[in-house]
Amino acid sequence: MSLYREYFGFKKDPFSNDIPTKSLLHFPAMEGVKERIDYALKIGAAMVLTGDVGSGKSTSLRWSLSHYHPSEVLILNIIASTGSLAELYKQLCWALDLEIRGTSLTSLTKIVKATIKDIASSKKQKILLAIDESHLLRADIFMEIHTLTQFENDSKNLLAIVFTGQSNLLDKLMYRSSAPMASRVVAKTHLNTITRDQMEEYLSHHVRYAGVKKNLFTESAITAIQQGSGGVLRKANNLAKGALIASSREKENQATAEHVRIASTELI
Q: Residue 227 sits in a domain of what CATH number?
A: 1.10.8.60
Same domain, residue pair 137 and 236: no
pLDDT of 243 reads: 98
Give the C-alpha separation, 103 to 249, whole Å.
55
pLDDT of 84 reads: 85
Cβ 229 vs Cβ 222: under 8 Å: no
pLDDT in tens, 101-129: 767 888 888 889 899 999 988 878 999 99
Half-sphere exposure of 70 (CA within 13 A, CB side): 0
Closest CA to 132 of 185, 80, 76: 80
Final residue of a structural domain among 191, 215, 246: 191
- Domain range for 206 is 3-20+194-264
Final residue of a structural domain among 164, 191, 218: 191
Same domain, residue pair 166 and 229: no
Same domain, residue pair 100 and 170: yes
Name the domain count of the chain.
2
pLDDT of 85 reads: 85
Same domain, residue pair 65 and 198: no
Final residue of a structural domain among 144, 172, 191: 191
Q: Which residues of the chain have pLDDT under 70?
A: 1, 102, 152-155
Cβ 45 vs Cβ 185: under 8 Å: yes
- The CA radius of gyration of the chain, in Å to the nearest whole number, is 22
Cβ 138 vs Cβ 181: under 8 Å: no
Cβ 30 vs Cβ 164: under 8 Å: no
pTM: 0.91
- String of b and e for 21-37 (b: at least 16 CB within 10 Å)? eeebbbbebbebbbebb
pLDDT of 1 reads: 53
